[in-house]
Amino acid sequence: MIQLSDRLQAMEESSTLAMARISRALRAEGKDIISLSLGEPDFPTPEFIKDAAIRAIQENYNTYTPVPGYDELRDKIANKFLRDNGLHYTKEQIVVSTGAKQSIANVVLSIINPGDEVIIPAPYWVSYVEIVKMAGGLPIIVEASVEQEYKITGSQFEAAITPKTKMFIFSSPCNPTGSVYTKDELRDLSKVLEKHPNILALSDEIYEHINFIGGHESLAQFSSIFDQVITVNGASKAWAMTGWRLGYLAACKPIADACNKIQGQFTSGTNSITQRAAMDAMDADPQVLKEMVLSFEKRRDLVLSYLNQIPSIKCNIPTGAFYLFPDVSAYFGWHYKGKKMNNGQDLCMYLLQEANIALVDGSGFGAPKCIRISYAASEETLKRAMEQFTEALAMLKP
């Protein structure tokens, strides 16, 4: 009998990836599953990035790269931070990784000791809690209600701080709620961090460019807390490069050095071809993403128009990312052909079986009353999905 580690057994499978796995398997069996489970753009990677990758292969960029990434790429990332976010970093403060997921794991594993507390506002992205647990840390969840657009206030943050608090992790734009913190709301959080200089903040800004309210605001812009903030970003979402695997972080030098050391023992530098291609992405004017962002906004409105016609569903109006996160708890306890919907998981399985739509249950995001719809799909697909969704919910009986 294989004895797996306690660490592994304490870990939940990523619910986003689990649903993607189940829908792939059903598709392979010939079922016409509409997958709105995985958060990834449905656009192809832009041609200029693909061309850069082809050039890199032809120019024989086939060897290991420096662990934190090519110097030229880290310079370009530093330029990107200055150009888009007004943040001053040098390349020594930047570590490029195999996805933002690895950047987050590098930071948490570098900083968290067993018993350290990490404050995480809920709803949160699925992997934060599991990565903190892997490091032996204690996730301290602070709930943000739909009435506060799923964003916590400085006073909520402050009330959760104890002498054991080591870190704060959040995303804006947020996965799964699509909420975007305004500059004033971030300032409110920064004031708390200012009072607690030993607490670090990981600001996950991977949806930076998918923002429907104009500009993106970074937590690190507040100079009094600049060294306490670790900014994580990546190429996956803005540049439709989820499979290429490139994320990066910017932090004060000791944290960047620590992440470099950890990464050197786990994976080394990320894929050389991806890094060369990402150089062109970092140089590109984000204005070229305008069209993609407009199209996401149209899709948000389309899916919301269906949700708003279902009286039992409550949903916020997201201002970023590409997710809707409706509260579907009114259906809990309802049934179909003798099968009761006890929770969001039952509802997602029902929607998968009866409506052929793959969504993700909110419990992995710390919000068990909700389900997540990723609307990164064509309008035609979304219409079909939402018609099937509406019909399936109408078949449930109280």
Q: Residues 239 to 298: which contact ligand PMP by CB under 6 A?
A: 242, 247
Residue 234 contact partner, candidates ligand PMP, ligand GLU, none, CB within 5 to 8 A by sort of partner: ligand PMP
Closer to ligand GLU at the Cβ: 38 or 258?
38
Residue 203 contact partner, candidates ligand PMP, ligand GLU, none, CB within 5 to 8 A by sort of partner: none
Contact pattern from residue 38 through residue 57 relative to ligand PMP, giving x for each residue in contact according to CB under 6 A and a dash for the rest: -x------------------
Q: Which residues, 6+ apart, have CB-to-CB distance to 378 below 8 Å?
A: 42
Q: Which residues, 6+ apart, have CB-to-CB distance to 396 below 8 Å?
A: 331, 334, 335, 336, 341, 350
353 binds ligand GLU (CB under 6 A): no
User: Where do the H-state alpha helices sit in the chain?
Assistant: 6-9, 15-28, 47-58, 71-85, 100-111, 126-134, 154-159, 183-195, 253-266, 272-283, 290-307, 344-355, 379-394
Task: Report the nearest approach of ligand GLU to the CB of residue 38 (Å).
Answer: 5
17 binds ligand GLU (CB under 6 A): yes
- The phi and psi torsions of 223 (rounded to 5 degrees) equal -60, -30
38 binds ligand GLU (CB under 6 A): yes
Residue from 23, 39, 109, 152 binding ligand GLU (CB under 6 A): 39
121 binds ligand PMP (CB under 6 A): no
Q: Residues 14 to 43: which contact ligand PMP by CB under 6 A?
A: 39
d(CA 104, CA 365): 16
d(CA 189, CA 173): 15
Q: Residues 61 to 120: which contact ligand GLU by CB under 6 A?
A: 101
Contact pattern from residue 208 through residue 247 relative to ligand PMP, giving x for each residue in contact according to CB under 6 A and a dash for the rest: --------------------------x-x-----x----x
Residue 356 contact partner, candidates ligand GLU, ligand PMP, none, CB within 5 to 8 A by sort of partner: none
Residue 383 three-state SS: helix
Residue 343 contact partner, candidates ligand PMP, ligand GLU, none, CB within 5 to 8 A by sort of partner: none
d(CA 4, CA 47): 44
Residue 17 contact partner, candidates ligand GLU, ligand PMP, none, CB within 5 to 8 A by sort of partner: ligand GLU
d(CA 31, CA 45): 27
Residue 14 contact partner, candidates ligand PMP, ligand GLU, none, CB within 5 to 8 A by sort of partner: ligand GLU
Residue 46 contact partner, candidates ligand PMP, ligand GLU, none, CB within 5 to 8 A by sort of partner: none
Task: Report the nearest approach of ligand PMP to the CB of residue 203 (Å).
Answer: 11
What letter would DSSP give residue 269? S
- The phi and psi torsions of 253 (rounded to 5 degrees) equal -55, -45
205 binds ligand PMP (CB under 6 A): no
Determine the residue type at 103.
S
Residue from 94, 189, 206, 359 binding ligand PMP (CB under 6 A): 206
Q: CA angle at residue 207 from 303 to 218, to 5 degrees?
A: 130
Residue 193 three-state SS: helix
Question: By C-alpha distance, which of 110, 379, 86 is closest to 259?
Answer: 110
d(CA 7, CA 170): 23
Contact pattern from residue 133 through residue 172 relative to ligand PMP, giving x for each residue in contact according to CB under 6 A and a dash for the rest: --------------------------------------x-
Residue 134 contact partner, candidates ligand PMP, ligand GLU, none, CB within 5 to 8 A by sort of partner: none
Residue 100 contact partner, candidates ligand PMP, ligand GLU, none, CB within 5 to 8 A by sort of partner: ligand PMP
Residues found in the chain: 398
Q: Residues 167 to 196: which contact ligand GLU by CB under 6 A?
A: 175
Determine the residue type at 357.
I
Q: What's the distance, Cα to Cα, between the start and end of the chain in Å?
A: 45
d(CA 49, CA 158): 43
Residue 247 contact partner, candidates ligand GLU, ligand PMP, none, CB within 5 to 8 A by sort of partner: ligand PMP
- 3-class SS shares of the chain: helix, strand, coil, % to 5: 45, 15, 40
Binding residues for ligand GLU (CB under 6 A): 14, 16-17, 38-39, 101, 126-127, 175
Binding residues for ligand PMP (CB under 6 A): 39, 99-101, 125, 171, 175, 204, 206, 234, 236, 242, 247
